[in-house]
Amino acid sequence: MTARPPVEALECMMLERMMLIRAYEETLVDLHGRGRAAGTCTAIGQEASAVGVVAALTPDDLILTNHRSAGHLLARGADPGRMLAEVQGKSGGYCGGKSGSLHISAKELGVVLTSTIVGGELALATGVGLSRSMQGGPGIVVCFFGDGAACEGRFHESLNLAAVWSLPILYVCENNQWQAFVHRKETMTADGVAGHAAAYGIDSAVVDGNDPLAVFDAAAAAVATIRRTGKPFLLEAMTYRLRGHFEPDDQSYVDPGELARWRERDPVILLRRRLERDGLLDAAAATRMEESVRARMEAAAAFAEASPYPAPEELTRDVYA
């Protein structure tokens, strides 16, 4: 099992990383509003899930993610400047400006792919897991998906193959309650997704996805089980996205009371309050952390703005014929 660092160091690191993810996505929303970036799918409100899981991984582990990928990439250590450049179609981005926000991959970080197809990463995770299993490497595969993807046939196909082939895959369902513009209660009778795992002989756990330390502990235990057994595991993080499905989206279809209740459980605010309450971070230090993150995002935005667009000859590079 991944050894937990001292709580103070771990939670302070998590808060700073969550602040960075929040600031990045808010910057992206602002750029879109000013016509400087295309619309994107944010995961504001889900930062604790991304940070908690990724903190439990090692550099050998590989990640496949979905259209709400910014948190996973930044939690893994991605450069926000290169990410913004990618979203804006600039050559300084991770994929040379060709992926936008919905298909970013970062090989050097072990982020194999981002799939904008709902459940697309689930279909591909088994192949990556089989490769890792056959090569006998030390790492596992982590596949992030949402509750909407759990309503797709490929979710069940992926779990079935992973179980039959004993693949080292950690399936992470970030259950954010909404499937595009439809509430999950309209598409499933069960209260969650984890229960499906038992039918395939896969162990599972459910965790408060707005508590990064709880997510870390649950993910670390799941990762340890996978490394020991070589078998898949399903972790469901119950969380909530505080913005709409896609920018711009006024969330007019969301019950205001539900949204207000989840805003009170904003993971960034809750963790900061807890650290200050427990004396692990004073208000001045928290403010300095916030200012540092803002300065980093200003530098990232400047880098992206200054990055040139790809040259015309790049149009056919990295394209299969």
pLDDT at 1 over 60: no
Q: Residue 269 has which token pair? A: 């605010």
Span of 58-67, 68-77, 245-254, 292-301 with lowest mean pLDDT: 245-254
Higher pLDDT residue, 34 or 54?
54
What residue type is 14 in one-letter code?
A: M
Q: Which residues contact 291 (CB under 8 A, 6 or more apart)?
A: none
Confidence (pLDDT) at 80: 98
Look at 107 and 191; give whichever has higher pLDDT. Answer: 107
Cα distances (Å, whole numbers) of residue 89 to 94, 98, 245:
10, 6, 22
Residue-level pLDDT at 3: 61
Q: What confidence tens digit (pLDDT) does each residue in 72-88 have? A: 999 999 999 999 999 99
Q: How far apart are CA 205 and CA 221, in angstroms?
A: 10
Domain range list for the chain: 7-246+265-299
pLDDT at 61 over 90: yes
Flag whether pLDDT at 119 surpasses 60.
yes
Chain length of the chain? 321
Determine phi and psi for 209, rounding to 5 degrees.
-75, -5
The residue with greater pLDDT, 1 or 32, is 32
Percentage of residues of the chain with pLDDT beyond 70: 98
Q: Which of 15, 43, 12 is nearest to 245 (CA)?
A: 43
Q: What is the mean pLDDT of the chain?
A: 94
Beta strands in the chain (DSSP E): 62-65, 111-114, 141-146, 169-175, 178-179, 182-183, 203-208, 233-238
pLDDT at 5 over 70: no
pLDDT, one tens digit per residue, over 142-168 is 999 999 999 999 999 999 999 999 999
The CATH superfamily label for domain 7-246+265-299 reads: Thiamin diphosphate (ThDP)-binding fold, Pyr/PP domains (3.40.50.970)
pLDDT digits (tens, 9 = 90+) for 226-281: 999 999 999 999 999 999 998 888 899 999 999 999 999 999 999 999 999 999 99
Asked whether residue 321 carries a pLDDT value surpassing 70, the answer given is: no
pTM of the model: 0.94
As a whole number of angstroms, the distance between CA 215 and CA 55 comes to 9
120-135: pLDDT as tens digits: 999 999 999 999 999 9
14-40 residue pLDDT tens: 999 999 999 999 999 999 888 888 878
